[in-house]
């Protein structure tokens, strides 16, 4: 089940739970969108049955069906997290007596490491100079992505009159659960941002606060930023599919390779838990393993 059913409804209480997550837990917009998608799956799988009537064996059957239709273990795990959270809210606020999702685990799937650009690929993406107004804007966005390891939503949410502090050399963003953090901005990114600042007024509508705007003068959406990055990568013949999160992965991987300071990378990325950052130690190990294979005289048999 790789696509959400058209015009599917949420289970009873689903809309209220999502509103509660937004107001009380300050859940990110992308998280709410994903959970809505997962609740729609639950409504379809339940086939009209009341949520209170579902038992653990029903949830296991739903998991089996999703897995059989090609959904990954990670995606099924997110579904279970959303369903479990809804039931917990229903128990607390609607008098439901049991949570049939408790104890249900998703099928295991191979751990996929985030893909990162090599330093040379990152240079190939960012070094070519901008040749148009839109490319000046794009280069400023992508330099800042790679320079500071921002999330896509964080970059899209930047305003022209707050966040960037040239005197301190920092950018301050609001990340998941409303947490703010300040991250250094590199020299090349500042140069690209200054170039965009001198031209932004040619596109921005009067009173538009967004730092990065479309050709019609309004704030760039995450989808528009993603599309522009794909266009640049293809135009430069990079040979890999480049998406915004790959620039964040590349920032983290390259920082860890150079510094070896996992805690510092955790702070720069805004991860609440060090476990989220530890994935990049595997990327770093892969890099070291490649260097070893290429350089050590006894690495390969003759």
29-43: pLDDT as tens digits: 888 999 999 999 999
Lowest model confidence (mean pLDDT) among 195-209, 236-250, 269-283, 288-302: 288-302
Average pLDDT, the chain: 84
- Cα–Cα distances in Å, from 184 out to 45, 137, 189, 267, 272? 47, 20, 10, 11, 19
How distant, in Å, are the alpha carbons of 74, 210, 269 from that of 192? Answer: 37, 17, 22
DSSP code per residue over 231-257: HHHHHTT--S---HHHHHHHHHHHHHH
Closest CA to 283 of 241, 239, 245, 249: 249
Q: Can you give the pLDDT at residue 210? A: 96
Among the residue ranges 49-53, 85-89, 169-173, 204-208, the one predicted with the least confidence is: 169-173
pTM (2 decimals)? 0.58
Q: Among 85-89, 164-168, 199-203, where is mean pLDDT lowest?
A: 164-168
Sheet holding 180-184, edge to edge: 164-165, 170-174, 180-184
More confident residue, 173 or 96: 96
Residue 62: CB atoms within 10 Å: 22
Q: Who has greater pLDDT, 58 or 257?
A: 58
Residue 201 exposure: Cα atoms within 13 Å on the Cβ side: 2
Show which residues are catalytic.
151, 176, 245, 248, 271, 280
CB 74 within 8 A of CB 109: yes
**Token pair 């685990």: residue:** 105
d(CA 270, CA 178): 11
Average pLDDT over residues 50-76: 92
Spell out the domain ranges in the chain: 14-93, 119-293
Angle CA 52–54–60, to nearest 5: 150
* Tokens describing residue 51: 């949520």
**Structural contact between residues 212 and 155, judged by C-beta atoms closer than 8 angstroms:** yes
Q: Using CB atoms within 10 Å of the CB of residue 302, give its burial: 0 to 12 exposed, 13 to 18 middle, 19+ buried.
A: exposed
Residue 194 has pLDDT above 90, yes or no: yes
Distance CA 287, CA 302 (A): 23
DSSP-derived 3-state class of residue 298: coil
CATH 1.10.443.10 fits 119-293, yes or no: yes
pLDDT higher than threshold 80 for residue 95 = yes
pLDDT of res. 118: 85
Query: Which residue in this structure is represented by tokens 């048999």?
Result: 301
What pLDDT is stored for residue 117 in this prediction? 85
Predicted confidence band of residue 169 (pLDDT cuts 50, 70, 90): confident
The highest-level CATH class for domain 14-93 is mainly alpha
pLDDT digits (tens, 9 = 90+) for 123-158: 999 999 999 999 999 999 999 999 888 889 889 999
Q: In angstroms, rounded to a whole number, what is the distance separating the alpha carbons of residues 284 and 253?
A: 6
Say how far apart CA 289 and CA 251 lie, in whole Å: 19
- Which whole number is the average pLDDT over 205-234? 95
What whole-number percentage of the chain has pLDDT above 90? 54
Confidence of residue 293 (pLDDT cuts 50, 70, 90): low
DSSP 86: H
Q: Token match 């996992």: residue?
A: 262
């Amino acid at each position: 089940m790789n696509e959400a059913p058209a015009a599917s409804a949420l289970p009873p209480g689903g809309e209220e739970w999502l509103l509660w997550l937004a107001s009380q837990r300050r859940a990110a917009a992308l998280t709410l969108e994903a959970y809505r998608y997962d609740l729609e799956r639950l409504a379809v799988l339940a086939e009209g049955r009341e949520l209170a009537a579902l038992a653990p064996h029903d949830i296991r059957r739903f998991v089996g069906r999703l897995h059989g239709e090609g959904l990954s273990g990670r995606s099924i795990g997110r579904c279970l997290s959303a369903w479990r959270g809804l039931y917990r809210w229903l128990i607390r606020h609607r008098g439901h007596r049991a949570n049939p999702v408790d104890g249900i685990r998703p099928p295991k799937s191979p751990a996929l490491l985030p893909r990162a650009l090599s330093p040379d690929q990152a240079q190939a993406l960012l070094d070519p100079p901008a040749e148009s107004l839109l490319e000046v804007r794009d280069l400023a966005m992508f330099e800042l992505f790679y320079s500071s390891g921002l999330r896509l939503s964080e970059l899209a949410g930047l305003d022209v009159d707050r966040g960037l502090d040239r005197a301190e050399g920092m950018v301050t963003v609001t990340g998941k659960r409303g947490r703010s953090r300040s991250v250094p901005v590199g020299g090349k990114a500042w140069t690209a941002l200054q170039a965009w600042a001198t031209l932004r007024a040619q596109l921005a509508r009067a009173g538009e606060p967004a730092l990065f705007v479309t050709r019609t003068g309004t704030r760039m959406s995450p989808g528009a930023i993603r599309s522009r990055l794909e266009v640049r990568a293809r135009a430069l013949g990079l040979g890999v599919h480049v998406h915004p999160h790959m620039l964040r992965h590349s920032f983290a991987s390259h920082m860890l390779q150079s510094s070896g300071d996992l805690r510092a990378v955790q702070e720069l990325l805004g991860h609440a838990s060090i476990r989220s950052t530890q994935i990049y130690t595997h990327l770093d190990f892969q890099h070291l393993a490649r260097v070893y294979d290429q350089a050590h005289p006894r690495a390969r048999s003759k």
